[in-house]
Structure 1
Amino acid sequence: MPKAGNFFADLPDASEGEATQILAAFPGARVERIVSLGQASPPGFWYDQAWTEWVVVLSGGAGLLIEGEDAPRALRPGDFLEIPAHVRHRVEWTEAGQPTIWLAVHGERIPA
């Protein structure tokens, strides 16, 4: 049976920590909704994932720092970023006054 829902319905309370929900999983890919509310990566922590991640901010805002870049990239609604495997990155900030809602797709990059 087909699965359906509303991406913005039943948002978790992210005031105590970022909330991640897997919305779909397929061979080679996972789709998540991430809700942040003022969270950032811990000092000195870097994500270093063995897979490609594609993210888009649908509401709120965030600063994502890619290792080797001088400043974080400010992501606002509609902004997306593909992060190749093993590209170290961290979340410098997310908005504290409203939820930042991300759509993240994790998986192997398949050439277009």
Structure 2
Amino acid sequence: MLTNLFSHFPEAAERGTQETFEELLSRPDVRIERIISTGQASPPDFWYSQPQGEWVLVMQGAAGLQIEHEEQERVLRAGDFVHLPAQLRHRVNWTSDKEPTIWLAVHYDLPQACDD
């Protein structure tokens, strides 16, 4: 069981060959994951647009986050976080290739409206 967010990297992350996603907690309305990036970026012309909201924190490293319709990318460094509402189109332009970029991502579903 993972007990320290800064250690016990998966083999692929240690080699820097691919971005890794590790689910730390999953419940019906929330999922928490650790993401380890080692120089990866979103593919050209690819935009994330997720049905869940996401709150993401860069714990180590750095990344360039592009939000659709924003001219400037947001440069995130250790300690920076951002809230991405559901369906907000965004992409990762770059992640640090000097050290792993470790993200903590909290994905959440909005409560369903009741039809009473």
TM-score normalized by the length of structure 2: 0.88
Partner residue, 1:7 = 5
2-side partners of 1:103 and 1:52: how far apart?
Answer: 14
CA displacement, residues 43-97 of structure 1 (integer Å, 9 cap, x when unaligned): 0000010110000000000000000000210000110000000100000000001
Q: How many residues align?
A: 108
Partner residue, 1:101 = 102
Per-residue deviation, 1:11 = 1.3
The 1:88–1:60 alpha-carbon spacing in structure 2 relative to 1, beyond 3 Å, is: same
Q: Which structure: larger Rg?
A: 2
CA displacement, residues 7-27 of structure 1 (integer Å, 9 cap, x when unaligned): 112112332111000001112
The sequence identity of aligned pairs, in percent, is 51
Q: Which runs of 4+ in 1 moved over 4 A?
A: none
**Structure 2: which 5+ runs fail to align?**
112-116
TM-score normalized by the length of structure 1: 0.91
**Structure 1: which 5+ runs fail to align?**
none
Is 1:51–2:52 an aligned residue pair? Answer: yes
CA RMSD of aligned residues (A): 1.4
Greater per-residue helix proportion: 2
